[in-house]
Structure 1
Amino acid sequence: MLPLRRAPFTRPGRRAVLGALSLAATCSLLATPATATPLTGTAPGGHCAGRAQLRVPGAARQQADCLDELTTAGTVASGHTDPADYAGLTPKDLPTPSGVPGIQIDGYFPDTSTTNTDHGWNHDSQFVIRLPDHWNGGLVVAGTPGNREQYANDKAIADWVLARGYAYAATDKGNTGTAFYRDGRRPGDAIAEWNTRLTQLTRAARAVVAQRYHRPPARTLATGLSNGGYLVRWQLENHPELYDGGVDWEGTLWRADGPHLLTFLPQALRHYPAYAAGGPGAAEAGAALHRAGFPAGSEFLWPYHYQVYWDLTQRIYREELDPGYDGATEAGTPYCAPGTPGCDADYDYASRPAAVHRAVDRIALTGRIGKPLITLQGTLDTLLPISRDSDVYARMVHAAGRGSLLRYYRIQDGTHTDSLVDVFPDRLRPMVPCHRSAFVALERWLAGDGRPAAGHTVARPAGADRATLLTSCPLG
């Protein structure tokens, strides 16, 4: 194999949205929390042994490297990650664990799209697999939030699970960037590919783990945030045989009848300008935003989300699922005024043709999970309002008769993107420690060490300082 071209990571026309579709017990951010699964010892043969013999089933290209450090404490300098891919997803003071030597495999599966420019490959369906020398017997797989690439979870998820001894694998989902909708031949193809690619990677990563450690993983867990959380839900509904459980961090909800992005974002675009302008119509516009699902108390987040998230997210996901709405125009007109032809502020999903609803149905969730799932979402999520997303999905799971497999935690004052905690430290709490608490709770649940607490709203501790909120999130 040709060596990886480590630099530069070329990102022409990169997305403006950071992480858009996008995401138990006291949680410590130390490398090895007290509740960590015990390590099972050094990998057979020592540091990086057998690297040349590892083969990723189905890969069109792969490059295996022996690294002294698999976390971002080392991979940033060595060129085995891309900080631009995870920028904006975590608080700036989040600690980085270290001391995880092992093998990293980068590569890609056969694909025809070329949006991912990492390593100069210009090839989608890229993946990364990390195999620590000191392995705990488990595998964690993840898809990326938003339209990001395979390193997007490195700070929020990979560093921490690698430090706990897990092997780790992630995929770019088969298409990237804000023009992801150009991939595929029919509406919904690009998003449907995300699910296929995570299934493909999970099967391949399980095989690579067995090659490296001479036995298959004892436990395979899926996790991810935002669009990555959607993938967790879909995988546990459609391929539960591949996983032992999952943690869904504010996953995106898709349902043929709604609610979903295309039902509440147009209302945000329609009413926010009047709210922001003040005057006699502001109060009613604010009430309309609340009726659309954007929670009371989240108003301080609305200006940022209008400028960065709502408009672009609506237009590109609508283009993916309903390209005919604006005719030959690609992904609409940014910040158009209601009444403008083809304006997304006027989009009415309920009145769109049946073909559009069928496109959404192709990627829809059902709630019929087949393995334990822990879902968490912030009450101040202002991209995916909790009342239109995880509240609904939890009801779907119970209606499908799978409630015993779900624990759902609403995190008071959590929002969609943890970097906003740095901007509003007195109003928001970071979600990343809550995700880690949920992950530990899932480990204990699967090990038979006790079922997690029943789903509830996790209150923000009164008087908790910034350091406490960054390092703990007891789920009760």
Structure 2
Amino acid sequence: MPTLRRSSVVSALLGSLLAVPLVTAVPPAHADSRCAHPHKVRVPGAERQVAACLDDLTTAGTVASGHTDRSHWDGLHAAGTRNPSGVPGVQIDGYFPDTSTFNTTHGWNHDSQFVIRLPKRWNGGLVVSGAPGNRRQYANDATISDWVLAKGYAFASTDKGNNGAEFFKDGRRPGDAILEWYHRMTQLTVAAKATVARHYGRSPRRTYAAGISNGGQLVRWALENHPGLYDGGVDSEGTLWPRHGASNALVYLPVALRNYPRYKATGDPAAHKAMIKAGFAPGSEFLWDFNYQIIWDGTQRIYREEIDPAYDGDLEAGIPFCESGTPNCDADYDYHSRPKSVHQAVKRASMSGRIGKPLITVQGTLDALLPITVHGDAYAAMIRSQGAGARHRYYRIEGASHLDLEYDMFPDRMRPLLPCMRTAFEALERWTAPGGGQAPPRSATIPRQTSGDVVNSCSLG
């Protein structure tokens, strides 16, 4: 029977399956008491942990020492992104009890892996994140960890409890694998706050959630369901599973798989119209071929298998790049006609928009994986409908797409999203400062920046 296959490019995008040995570093002679005995700090609930004193917790040091894995974060930032370095401190790697074994990092063959980083010079804050896509715990190292560590924050990240292109095999009911992501985000937040308190001798004064794509989805869920754990969050191009009959990825991706080949071959206006009607932005056409070749097909099949495994019978995640009309072909998937149980599985993973703490969302208008009208615009409307609009800022970034590697492919037509996420984080810091803080600029569509250091700067005002 056909099974899920991935090209080497997709493998790189989703993260390596190769084990990386974890090196326990020797404390430097100048280490203070906190770093001289890193093993004294225990992560509550962890089944396994390995602690190390490092001269540099950023990727500038951890790539060489084996305390990160570059393949986890390939493609998430533009090639010219500048990251800080030289942040000494303690890194704790480990995992929580779990029954699935997709994550082979460090040869542990165990899911629910996490990383916690505790900088020597601490500013009193903590940033918690979950991996984007189906990546693993180091996926946010070059995008979030390096940057917040240099500002003095402790940092924690989870692999979400299942990962890789067969994550749908986890759980007993459709949707269980996604629901585990939410549990693991909460579990890590609670454990990281306690770990920080034990390490520094006091609890964090502020805790933020930050994430990209599926990691942004976790930020939304966290601020809706456990706002007491956080002071605010930054959601970069988060995935939306709406509660009711609105569009979602399983609605528009089949449209793309069915119509794009015809549009590419002949320029068929009807095929183009169908793509635009499904939610893809006019002007994003130059990104469609990359997304068709690399992302859309695999994404549709693995998430459909998680939500609706009965659609293709005994197949696992369908038939790659099948032509419309082929039996069990995902290009012909019709979410709205599927049984009530399928819609119930989506509802279990859905959002309400009822955020309890300040949230800043950024998303690119050219996003061709999570079209902005279906995801960012729809979630902003949900928040307003819940009367929580005052707690939300939403910045639509013209010219940005879903993966910043796409900027490197078309630098004359685009801009990267990451610098806008970083600017949003600084706006969140000011917004949640003691004494009331400074409210960010009003939600807006931000014109594409075409001059200056586009890769490392972004103004939201």
TM class by smaller structure: over 0.9
User: Counterpart in 2 of 1:475?
Assistant: 460
Shift of 1:19: 5.3
Is residue 355–residue 391 contact of structure 2 (8 Å, CA) maintained in 1?
A: yes
Give percent identity, aligned residues only: 61
Superposition pairs of residues 190-205 of structure 1, within 5 angstroms: 190-205=177-192
2:385 is the alignment partner of 1:399 = yes
Deviation readout 1:398-429 (Å, 9 max, x if unpaired): 00111110000000001000011111001110
SS in structure 1 of the partner of residue 455 of structure 2: helix
2:10 is the alignment partner of 1:16 = yes
- Distance in 1 between residues matched to 2:460 and 2:366, nearest whole Å: 18
2:290 is the alignment partner of 1:290 = no
- Distance in 2 between residues matched to 1:15 and 1:306, nearest whole Å: 13
Is residue 156–residue 192 contact of structure 2 (8 Å, CA) maintained in 1?
A: yes
Shift of 1:13: 9.6
Shift of 1:460: 1.4
SS in structure 1 of the partner of residue 432 of structure 2: helix
- Distance in 1 between residues matched to 2:215 and 2:99, nearest whole Å: 22
- Letter aligned with residue 373 of structure 1: L
Is residue 14–residue 178 contact of structure 1 (8 Å, CA) maintained in 2?
A: no
Normalised by the length of structure 2, the TM-score is 0.93
Shift of 1:370: 0.4
- What stretches of structure 2 of length at least 5 have no aligned partner? 1-5, 16-30
User: Aligned residue pairs: how many?
Assistant: 438
- Distance in 1 between residues matched to 2:9 and 2:179, nearest whole Å: 20
- Of 189, 192, 200, which aligns to 1:213? 200
Is residue 414–residue 448 contact of structure 2 (8 Å, CA) maintained in 1?
A: no
Shift of 1:283: 1.4
- Letter aligned with residue 455 of structure 2: L
SS in structure 1 of the partner of residue 292 of structure 2: helix
User: Counterpart in 2 of 1:372?
Assistant: 358
Superposition pairs of residues 206-355 of structure 1, within 5 angstroms: 206-256=193-243, 257-278=245-266, 282-355=268-341
Is residue 20–residue 145 contact of structure 1 (8 Å, CA) maintained in 2?
A: no
Shift of 1:338: 1.2
- Distance in 2 between residues matched to 1:60 and 1:210, nearest whole Å: 20
- Of 438, 455, 460, which aligns to 2:424? 438
2:155 is the alignment partner of 1:161 = no
Superposition pairs of residues 407-422 of structure 1, within 5 angstroms: 407-422=393-408
Shift of 1:304: 0.4
- Distance in 1 between residues matched to 2:9 and 2:82, nearest whole Å: 27
- Distance in 1 between residues matched to 2:10 and 2:88, nearest whole Å: 34
Change (3 A) 1:19 1:231: farther
- Distance in 2 between residues matched to 1:20 and 1:351, nearest whole Å: 30
Is residue 14–residue 165 contact of structure 2 (8 Å, CA) maintained in 1?
A: no
Normalised by the length of structure 1, the TM-score is 0.90
Change (3 A) 1:88 1:131: same
User: Counterpart in 1 of 2:348?
Assistant: 362
- Letter aligned with residue 89 of structure 1: L
Shift of 1:96: 2.4
Is residue 127–residue 150 contact of structure 1 (8 Å, CA) maintained in 2?
A: yes
- Distance in 1 between residues matched to 2:231 and 2:90, nearest whole Å: 24
- Of 129, 139, 144, which aligns to 2:126? 139
- Letter aligned with residue 334 of structure 2: D
> RMSD of the TM alignment (CA)?
1.6
- Of 176, 181, 185, which aligns to 2:163? 176
User: Counterpart in 1 of 2:55?
Assistant: 68
- Distance in 2 between residues matched to 1:18 and 1:382, nearest whole Å: 19
- Letter aligned with residue 371 of structure 2: P
Runs of 4+ in 1 over 3 A off after TM superposition: 12-15, 17-21, 44-47
Is residue 106–residue 126 contact of structure 1 (8 Å, CA) maintained in 2?
A: yes
- What stretches of structure 1 of length at least 5 have no aligned partner? 1-11, 22-43
2:57 is the alignment partner of 1:88 = no
- Letter aligned with residue 449 of structure 1: G
